[in-house]
Amino acid sequence: MLLNPGWQHWKLQYFSGPFAIMPAFRAGHWAPHRATQHTAVLNAAFHTTIAQLRDLPADSLAEVAFAGRSNAGKSSAINTLCNHKRLAFVSKMPGRTQHLNFFRVEDSRYLVDLPGYGYARAPKDQKHIWQALIGGYLGRRPQLAGLVLIMDIRHPLTELDRSLLDWFRPAGRPVHVLLSKSDKLSRGQALPVLRQVRAELLDAGFAASVQLFSSPKREGVDEAEAVVRGWLGVAKKTPAQGEEAGESTP
């Protein structure tokens, strides 16, 4: 099976594992669906990039963090949820790959794109900077309402995913897992993975929900959007109220 039961070893293994160096901006993603095709979207716009905890937005009332291994499909998921072609690729621009990137959904409510991890080895001092920033943010940000963890359904719950979850544990907040690239597996292959990830997170003591997600097929978008909206306290508006799909700011 794909899953590794060594949950208790997360912390030990973190620093010996591969570490994220996010590649610079990559092209080659599928063409997004036309904005007018879908009404379910979070209306998000880039707000700020921060490299130090003291720069966290002071006005924030609620935040939802997005995390995942590099290449897991995190940027695509954020873009799909916001029905925006390039929103999360801001986070892949040089100088921003190791930072927290904030996207404003509504006044004082943010999506927070965390650096991808596991892409390549990084120097030791870089790991410490990353740990201080991400660990500090995940464990001690009162406004952080929940964590969306994106995992490629073919490689769920890697050691680094487990390390990240361990950092988030002190927050005592819920986790919502997107098993991304679900279009790569048949239903018969995907459902057992879904069940097993659910069971493992429960065993590990997390209040976690888990769902299938596919950006190109738009599978699971409504479900994920509802979770994020609930955590942020952002109600869905009718088109007449001015939040039609496609209004999001580049």
Residues that bind ligand GDP (CB under 6 A): 29-30, 68, 70-76, 116, 180-181, 183-184, 214-216
Least Å from the CB of residue 245 to ligand GDP: 19
Least Å from the CB of residue 25 to ligand GDP: 10
User: How far is residue 153's CA from residue 34's CA, in Å, rounded to a whole number?
Assistant: 26
| Distance from the Cα of residue 207 to its chain's centroid | 16
- What would the two tokens of residue 177 be? 């897992």
- What would the two tokens of residue 135 be? 């660990």
Let me know how many helices (H) and strands (E) the chain has, helices first.
Answer: 7, 7
Q: For residue 118, what are the contacts with CB-CB under 8 A and spacing of at least 6?
A: 17, 18, 19, 20, 69, 70, 158, 160
Q: For residue 182, what are the contacts with CB-CB under 8 A and spacing of at least 6?
A: 153, 190, 212, 213, 214, 217, 219, 220
CB 181 within 8 A of CB 152: yes
3-class DSSP state for residue 70? coil
Question: For residues 181 and 229, which CB has a smaller minimum distance to ligand GDP in the complex?
Answer: 181
CB 149 within 8 A of CB 165: yes
CB 112 within 8 A of CB 34: no
Question: For residues 101 and 215, which CB has a smaller minimum distance to ligand GDP in the complex?
Answer: 215
Question: For residues 31 and 58, which CB has a smaller minimum distance to ligand GDP in the complex?
Answer: 31
Question: For residues 221 and 245, which CB has a smaller minimum distance to ligand GDP in the complex?
Answer: 221
Least Å from the CB of residue 215 to ligand GDP: 4
Question: For residues 74 and 84, which CB has a smaller minimum distance to ligand GDP in the complex?
Answer: 74
Least Å from the CB of residue 73 to ligand GDP: 3
Least Å from the CB of residue 70 to ligand GDP: 5
Q: Which of 112, 89, 85, 117 is nearest to 101 (CA)?
A: 112
Cα angle: 69, vertex 91, 221; to 5 degrees: 65
Question: For residues 106 and 176, which CB has a smaller minimum distance to ligand GDP in the complex?
Answer: 176
Question: For residues 60 and 91, which CB has a smaller minimum distance to ligand GDP in the complex?
Answer: 91
- What would the two tokens of residue 61 be? 């009332």
Least Å from the CB of residue 48 to ligand GDP: 19
Least Å from the CB of residue 189 to ligand GDP: 14
